[in-house]
Amino acid sequence: MPHLIVAGAAGTTQRRLVSETVRREREIGYPLAARREGGDWKELLSAENCGGLFDARRLVLVEEAQQLGKFPIGLESLLEDASSATHLLLVYDEDPKAVFPKEAHSRITWLKGEEIPRFGAARRRWAEERASEMGIRLSTEAMGLLLESVEDPEELLSELAKLAIAADGRRIEVEEIRTLCFDEGEKALLSLLDGLCEADRSKVASVLPHVKRRDLIPVLAALHNRFRLAFYRSVFKAPRLLKIASEALKARPYQERQAAEAVRHYGREKMAHFLKQLCGINMGEKTGNRNGWIELELAILGLLADSKPAEREERR
């Protein structure tokens, strides 16, 4: 009988756990020989029953293992330990221990995916720990920008690996994040967001033609997220209320700093009007009744027209 390796994880964590397990099994002499999906326990165990002591070692990956149902009572005594020639890697979306009788637990190798925080300080600590393991040092601003821009944990790890090669022991700064981690369209969108928050008219004017090469809906969403946070910062002055608003919007430190910058340049009513315009353009774009890019450009120009640039404030 085969040895069971049971992995419980979901989403990108599951993919990484499976990938790492397949690699580790290959290194100890169990190459991936077959992939299966769901099925029936008796058919699976019968098909993968190892024939003898000298059979070639092999790993069989069984995805969607929850479709197998509960492990048949009475077969647990037939399960082998890790010395079996066949290892079955069973992949579950959730904790699968209830699927197996307690008598079988000691005969199974259990794997659990890493719990990756999705928001706030916990996510930042997780990213900083991964960066430290890779030997990378990022400035506070650089880490904030990377976390704001990359949602998926696997993609974040990939970007950190890329930075580890480029850094060569140096501390990574914001500009290197922009250069190494963003394509031209992403860099242009980020420059637009920052330029608007800073009321930097020349920056906005220079990047807007590049941003227009992207799909409109994601651009509207990015603008709405940034200025919604800025609007709430203009409404809630008390630190306690600001913290509640930021946590509700799952804002990250870089977003909060840029939102605070926007509050310096735009009045509450103007930001509220801009947000209403974004919602209207979004609705019109989805129904095909409006010329979205022209309306967005006019809304941006209207926002900048009533701004209070920093240099103007300094002269007063």
Which pLDDT tens digit goes with each residue over 158-183? 889 888 888 777 899 988 888 888 77
Nearest to 165, CA basis, from 174, 176, 155, 151:
176
User: Amino acid identity, residue 191?
Assistant: S
Residue 55 in this model has a pLDDT that exceeds 60: no
How far is it, in rounded angstroms, from Cα 123 to Cα 120? 6
Question: How many structural domains does the chain have?
Answer: 3
Q: How many CB atoms lie under 10 A from the CB of residue 86?
A: 22
Same domain, 279 and 200: yes
Residue 276: the pLDDT is: 94
Same domain, 86 and 194: no
Same domain, 96 and 12: yes
Residue 75 in this model has a pLDDT that exceeds 50: yes
CATH number at residue 37: 3.40.50.300
Same domain, 125 and 98: no
Residue 141: the pLDDT is: 86
Mean pLDDT of the chain: 85
Same domain, 204 and 259: yes
Same domain, 31 and 135: no
Residue 184 in this model has a pLDDT that exceeds 80: no
Residue 149 in this model has a pLDDT that exceeds 70: yes
Same domain, 192 and 239: yes
Residue 314 in this model has a pLDDT that exceeds 50: no
Q: Which long-range contacts (CB under 8 A, 24 or more apart) does 305-312 make?
A: 306/266, 306/267, 306/270, 307/199, 307/201, 307/265, 307/266, 308/199, 308/264, 308/265, 308/266, 309/199, 309/200, 309/201, 309/265, 310/198, 310/199, 310/264, 310/265
Asked, for residue 316, whether it belongs to a domain, the answer is no
**Token pair 């974004």 in the structure block, residue:** 278
Asked, for residue 308, whether it belongs to a domain, the answer is no
Identify the domain containing residue 274 by its residue range: 184-302
Q: What is the mean pLDDT of residues 261-272?
A: 93
Asked, for residue 310, whether it belongs to a domain, the answer is no
Q: Which H/E stretch holds residue 82? A: none
Its pTM stands at 0.51
Exposure on the CB side of residue 171, measured as CA atoms within 13 A: 8
Asked, for residue 278, whether it belongs to a domain, the answer is yes
Give the N- to C-terminal CA distance of the chain in Å, as an integer: 83
Residue 315 in this model has a pLDDT that exceeds 60: no
Q: What is the mean pLDDT of residues 37-42?
A: 86
How far is it, in rounded angstroms, from Cα 222 to Cα 142? 19
